[in-house]
């Protein structure tokens, strides 16, 4: 008979605590790197699509917008209205699926009066325009319902900030310099996908590289020289081969063809480990995990022989994993903001 009263009392307390959370504001000065999506296009109940966010000081940047990532960010206590910019590595569907929702929540949750900047290589203009057009009706509904004071029409959607990196060259370019933060875009090889880039963040003596999707890249190795943290994609071909063989046995022609193709434009964990060693990286973390790993017990099979090539700490990423790199130090802290049974 007391369930309703007890439930309401608990709900009041829990909701009050969650509404008060402001993850970005609570972090000490430094670089804080969170894996808000570590999955791939292959369905995985514990992993959203690829997405990383970086807190530099009090500024917030999001790299890619995989499916489900926006909701993960909210569950972690991130105030979405704080997003300064979204940076896209390339335009495969699994890296942009949540872009519309992310732009919407950033606008509506705090009433931003300016659209979010969306940085990316050439072609980002088309992607941003497409999402803006797709959300035009939704924008009108929300303004009509809540009023322009709460959701200013001028703040909806995004504005593209394109940059150009030539094809086939090992190039890099500084795309952002703000409040002591430098963001560098660099070319990677995800052929036939072009353009494709990774990003390096430098802030107050700390550094991180996010690979995006790529085969082993000499340019990425150069750009990653001496970084504190390398967040690298990883595909374990032996495990993908098991899926391929099952698809062949059961007559799944398209699945068999796709699983035969995808190793050709991704990086094996062993090769990422070689890059980390060559570049002198202090910590290697994997995201864009292919294939899905049902339990953490499978991490060793996923890593394969990576530990024979790199002796530093390696982490198989999970959604909600936060790496904290305090300013002007050599500490790399680790915290789990989401919990899943594994």
Domain boundaries, the chain: 3-336
pLDDT of residue 342: 45
> Beta-strand (E) ranges in the chain?
30-37, 51-56, 59-63, 83-87, 116-121, 158-163, 172-178, 181-187, 197-203, 206-210, 229-235, 283-290, 314-316, 321-326, 333-336
24-46: average pLDDT: 94
* Phi, psi angles (nearest 5°) of residue 234: -160, 130
The architecture CATH gives domain 3-336: 4-Layer Sandwich (3.60)
Distances in Å between the alpha carbon of 287 and those of 27, 35, 211, 222?
Answer: 23, 8, 9, 20
Catalytic residue among 94, 189, 202, 271: 94
Q: pLDDT band for position 20 (50/70/90)?
A: confident
125-128: list long-range contacts, CB under 8 Å, 24+ apart.
125/160, 125/162, 127/88, 127/91, 127/96, 127/99, 127/160, 128/99, 128/157, 128/158, 128/159, 128/160
Mean pLDDT of the chain: 95
pLDDT digits (tens, 9 = 90+) for 296-330: 999 999 999 999 999 999 999 999 999 999 999 99
* Catalytic site includes residue 94: yes
Greater model confidence, 279 or 23 = 279
For residues 303-333, one letter each, b for 16 or more C-beta atoms within 10 angstroms of the residue's C-beta and e for the rest, the string is: bbebeebbeeebbbbbbbbbbbbbeeeeebe
68-87: average pLDDT: 95
pLDDT digits (tens, 9 = 90+) for 130-179: 999 999 999 999 999 999 999 999 999 999 999 998 776 779 999 999 99
Residue pair 124/136 in contact by the 8 Å Cβ criterion:
no
Say yes or no to pLDDT of 69 above 50: yes
Residue pair 157/107 in contact by the 8 Å Cβ criterion:
yes
Greater model confidence, 295 or 31 = 31
- How far apart are the C-alpha atoms of 7 and 27, rounded to whole Å? 32
Element spanning 275, H or E: helix 269-279
Residue pair 129/172 in contact by the 8 Å Cβ criterion:
no
Say yes or no to pLDDT of 26 above 50: yes
Please state, for a pLDDT cut of 70, what percent of the chain lies above it: 99
pLDDT digits (tens, 9 = 90+) for 202-221: 999 999 999 999 999 999 99
Residue pair 152/113 in contact by the 8 Å Cβ criterion:
yes
Q: pLDDT band for position 340 (50/70/90)?
A: low
Q: What does pTM read for this prediction?
A: 0.95
């Amino acid at each position: 008979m007391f369930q309703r009263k007890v439930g309401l009392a608990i709900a009041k307390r829990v909701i009050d605590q969650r509404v008060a959370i402001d993850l970005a504001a609570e972090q000490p000065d430094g670089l804080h790197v969170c894996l808000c999506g570590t999955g791939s296009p292959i369905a995985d109940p514990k992993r959203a699509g690829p997405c990383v966010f970086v807190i530099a000081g009090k500024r917030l940047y999001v790299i890619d917008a995989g499916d489900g990532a926006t909701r993960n960010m909210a569950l972690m206590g991130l105030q979405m209205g704080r997003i300064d910019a979204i940076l896209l590595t390339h335009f495969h569907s699994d890296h942009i699926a949540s872009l519309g929702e992310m732009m919407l929540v950033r606008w509506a949750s705090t009433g931003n009066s300016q659209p979010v900047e969306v940085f990316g290589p050439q072609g980002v203009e088309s992607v941003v325009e497409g999402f803006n057009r797709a959300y035009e009706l939704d924008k009108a509904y929300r303004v009509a319902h809540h009023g322009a004071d709460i959701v200013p029409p001028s703040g909806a959607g995004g504005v593209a900030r394109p940059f150009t990196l030539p094809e086939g060259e090992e190039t890099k370019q500084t795309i952002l310099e703000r409040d002591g933060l430098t963001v560098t875009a660099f070319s990677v090889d995800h052929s036939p996908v072009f353009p494709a880039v990774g990003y390096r963040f430098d802030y107050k003596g700390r550094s991180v590289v996010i690979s995006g999707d790529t085969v082993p890249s000499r340019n990425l190795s150069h750009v990653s020289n001496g970084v504190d943290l390398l967040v690298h994609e990883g595909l374990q071909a032996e495990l993908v081969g098991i899926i391929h063989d099952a698809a062949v046995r059961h007559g799944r022609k398209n699945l068999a063809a796709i699983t035969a193709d995808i190793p050709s434009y991704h990086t094996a964990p062993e090769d990422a480990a070689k890059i980390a060693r060559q570049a002198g990286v202090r910590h290697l973390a994997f995201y864009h995990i292919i294939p899905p790993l049902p339990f953490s017990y499978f991490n060793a099979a996923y890593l394969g022989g990576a530990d024979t090539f790199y002796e530093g700490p390696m982490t198989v990423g999970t959604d909600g994993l936060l790496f904290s790199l305090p300013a002007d130090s050599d500490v790399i802290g680790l915290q789990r903001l989401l919990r899943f049974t594994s």
